[in-house]
Structure 1
Amino acid sequence: MKKLTLLSFIFSLFLLISPEKKLAAENLQVTIDSLKDGAVLQLENKTYQGNIVINKSLTLIGSKHTVIKGDGTGNVISIKAPHVKLSHLTVIHGGMDRNSPEEYAAIKIYTNNNIVEHINIRDSFHGIYLSQAHNNKIRFNHIKGMDKGEIAAQGNGIHVYYANDNLLEKNTIEGTRDGMFFDYANNNRSYKNNISQTRYGLHYMYSDKNIFKKNTFTMNTGGAAIMNSNHLKLEDNQFIVNYGNQSFGLLLLQANDNYISNNTFYMNQRGMYIDQATRNEFRHNKIVQNQIGIELWVSSNEQTFTLNQITENTIPAVTLGGNGENNSWSKNGKGNDWGSTFPITDLNQDSIGDFPITYRSSLYQLIEDQELSYLFLKSPALKIYEKMNAALTNEAIMFKDTHPIAASKGSHTNAILLVAGILLAAILIKGRHLLCITFGRNGRKI
């Protein structure tokens, strides 16, 4: 009897010493509601039932096998207090209802100054959703969607809605609708994120003064779509193997006063697609081995291209819809490097060509009139088409670079090595079948 009483006392004492951990094992929401502001809750290696609402400033720390599983009807975790920190969790099974008045997410944040890091997210409509939430840090997270076959049925990896001054850093996103979607979101910073197998890796709508730097986009339908957004900085990003019907590395649509510098556009259907855009500057970019390097519609004015390497593309640049004289292919006496496609004469050895480069083509007519022409740009028949039109008609000027610069040597070696590494990883992880579908058995699109 005395031993039983002693055991009961010890067990009761244990509950008093560590109530948070014990209650968390039974009901995570009850535990959260019972904690004080600033409390730290260490979760076990087990599955906890969502959906949970965090309405006070807390830190939730998981372990390797900590899972929070939603009931499939709403947000798995809703953060409705500032200064919340979530880390080292797996969050799954959020609501997928597209017709609900609210768009659901694995983690939905409504407040400011929160940190969400080292989270694995699966089986949810949106991954992480910031709704009018400012000054948050979203970093080191891995968000996986249902892949391209289910793009229309799911949301975005990270969705930023009327949310400003947030840091999005070193996240990996794959298989979602859009990787990152910004809607009326200003002054956000996105660094070193990796996005693949999405519709658009990056999608900006009505979002100004954002910085996007050192991110990588591979095997998306579109790398980055910048629409109705101004004063952005896109620097040191990689847009690689974004391929498919009407695909692109970077799209600028009604986007003005943006600065695009030191980016790599490699093996995309179109490196850049520019329409109804004004006063954008493109500097020190590598636009290499795309089917079309730059597709520029004459609805765009005052674009400036300087010190870019635009080489080894099937078509270096094409102007569609009329005469593109309102755009400039050089600045301060420095144009672009067109590689061996347009060899230059440089008698005074100042690395600036002695004569302008003028590129004429009739392919613009085919591209404007036939949407499927993109699929045949590497066909030998197109060279015959060009020669026939050159003899029979006056070809239009696609661009005129008045100060072309001397070809650089080995300047896209790093991009090639990066692509080789990505393709090797794809072979090891996804298998040869994916690559054959994408590029054909002999490296060609089929």
Structure 2
Amino acid sequence: MADLFDTGTPVAPPDSAPRPLADRLRPRTLAEVIGQEQVLGPDAPLGVMLDSGSLSSIVFWGPPGVGKTTIARLLADATDLHFVQISAIFTGVPDLRKVFEAAKLRRAGGQGTLLFVDEIHRFNKAQQDGFLPHMEDGTILLVGATTENPSFELNAALLSRAQVLVLERLGLADLERLASRAELALGRTLPLTDAARQALLGMADGDGRALLNLVEQVMAWKVEAPLDAAALGSRLMRRAAQYDKSGDGHYNLISALHKSVRGSDPDAALYWFARMLDAGEDPRYLARRITRMAVEDIGLADPQAQSICLQGWETYERLGSPEGELAIAQALVYLALAPKSNAAYAGYKAARAAARKTGSLMPPKHILNAPTRLMKDHGYGAGYAYDHDAEDGFSGQDYFPETMGRTEFYAPVERGFERDLKKRVEYFARLRDQRKKT
């Protein structure tokens, strides 16, 4: 299976297979890398490591096309380490053993090995453990690459031995520099108007490799005059936004949507809602999460919010996509502009915590039913005051376990309908104090 990993020996492609532009423009030094100053700058983690000569194992976390493989290869060049590249998708345990044995022989001969593992999150936890002894004894310097959150996908032992560095999607200025570099290498400019050029950069969605592939396509066209944005759009499809419905992108965007609603920003909420729909998210999932927002963040400050969410959800089920999505969007806007209160949610969590803490405490006997003579003899129901017979329809009795005492969990806020509920809470508290004094 030796063909499944790159041992570091370059293989020249046949003359009939020209190298792709992205490969031809691969940086030859770290100084040529576009973007990622937050890890490559002189005061950034990699800059400090290289300056001090203390390069340690690393995990690069970032979206596709931002330079993870390139930077790993250049790190090996900068530190005179032998570069070996494998992919967790195609590499099994026997292949790893061969890599480690070759690294040991190389180390005995005086040269270290930088092992670059692409898609490292694809290895299971046991396979990840297999790297540890070889990292600890210096057989390999591990550089992993992942598009998934390392906190969830890599085990703690591996993370404790490697520094996680975040590589960011390229900004428009970085993509413009990359496009200019491509034009210089090809000896001509892109046949695009300024607006079309900006549209092309947007199509790459922060992915440098995708941009170079698009540039290569555009340069192959035979056009008599620069194309405008509309003409470009008719010839090229916009790259689909990166989004994994079961991964990090999913949770990042639903978090952004939820916090936009909580922050009373309907415009941001609509934006994140649209982003998730465009990425293929199930509108039913969004309807369910939005209903949860009504319960958690609006609560009793606007009791109608929950009903509007359920109505929007039901409307979607009746109309389907795309018409039904408007009903969910309307509910979203209503939530964003509704008064906010998490008092009921906070009270519920506090009550759950108290219930776990107090265990099996019995209710006070006066509020227990006594269907048998034996239970009556043991005081069940004795002294119970029927609230409807009391003045103001309120007896003021204590309903908590006797050894626990009365505890306040629900603290309504001075917003929306909950202002009225707060007045009722305070009213019954005053009556309860009066009943105690009498």
* TM-score, normalised with respect to structure 2: 0.26
Give the structure, 1 or 2, with the largest relative contact order (CA under 8 Å, sep 6 or more): 2
More helix by percentage: 2
Higher-Rg structure is: 2
More strand by percentage: 1
* TM-score, normalised with respect to structure 1: 0.25
